[in-house]
Chain A
């Protein structure tokens, strides 16, 4: 139960952070990606702000603790390979990200704004992921 409360709190903070930093705004994100046009560096500072907290905290947690406070273990990705799937996946994701200006977090957070375009994008995103899951079976 407390774990669910932490999940809710963490989701709320993440959503508030995306809204506060204007990362739910596709124009803002495309402005960052438009490095050779009218560049908007804001996203760099969002990531910088997040990493300034996350990097030292994760390093301290990983060096001081063998288990999380409420769970049996840290659920870390087992796959460490830098392979074709990782690179191809990242390239395809980057292409889609640039075309609309949504990555999965902001796209899902923006559901609350009630725009039809967001529902269509999220539906397409889930279909794309499902296609990969089925192919991978």
Chain B
């Protein structure tokens, strides 16, 4: 267990985490908005365009920010997911349906929600973490699935 901690690239993960924290604080302090990424993406499909310009701009920034990081640092792109097509589609459907039903994902509940000390977000975060850890255990270690 302790060896696992020795392999963590602390500088990059803490800086990366801090950037995510600063991003959430900026959006809230200036615009009064929660940086919940699934909520932004899904409201594009539910409400009119003129209310969503800022969300589109944020999402363009999100893609651009990742690309810019690789461009500026020379760090290679991470690999694509290593999942079979049926499981890839199933997982996408589950993530989309689940985050819409539960009103949030890792960013909205896990960062901004916890930062507001929202009990609802704490319950959601513990639940999706627990569900994900159990799912991975069952799929990988009990069923031997290649995921």
Contact = CB atoms under 8 A, between A and B. Distances in A.
Interface of B is mostly: helix
A45 B13 contact: yes
B132 A54 contact: no
Contacts of B22: 13, 17, 53
B34 A4 contact: no
B144 interface: no
B138 to A, nearest CB: 9
A34 B140 contact: yes
Nearest to A101: B81
A20 B18 CA distance: 10
Nearest to B122: A82
Interface in A52-89: 52-55, 57-59, 61-62, 67-77, 79-82, 85-89
Contacts of A118: 80-81
Contacts, number: 492
Contact of B96 (A28, A79, A129): A129
A103 B108 CA distance: 11
B17 A17 contact: yes
Contact of A100 (B16, B91, B102): B91
A117 B86 CA distance: 11
A77 B18 CA distance: 24
Given A15-B61, A20-B15, A121-B95, 6 more contacts: A10-B35, A27-B78, A36-B133, A36-B137, A97-B132, A104-B106
24 contacts: A8-B58, A10-B61, A12-B61, A13-B22, A14-B61, A15-B67, A15-B68, A16-B16, A16-B19, A20-B13, A22-B12, A46-B13, A49-B18, A53-B18, A53-B22, A85-B102, A86-B102, A98-B135, A103-B99, A113-B80, A115-B81, A117-B80, A124-B91, A132-B101
Which 9 pairs, one residue from A and one from B, show the smallest C-beta to C-beta distance?
A11-B61, A89-B102, A49-B17, A15-B65, A21-B16, A124-B92, A128-B96, A94-B131, A96-B94
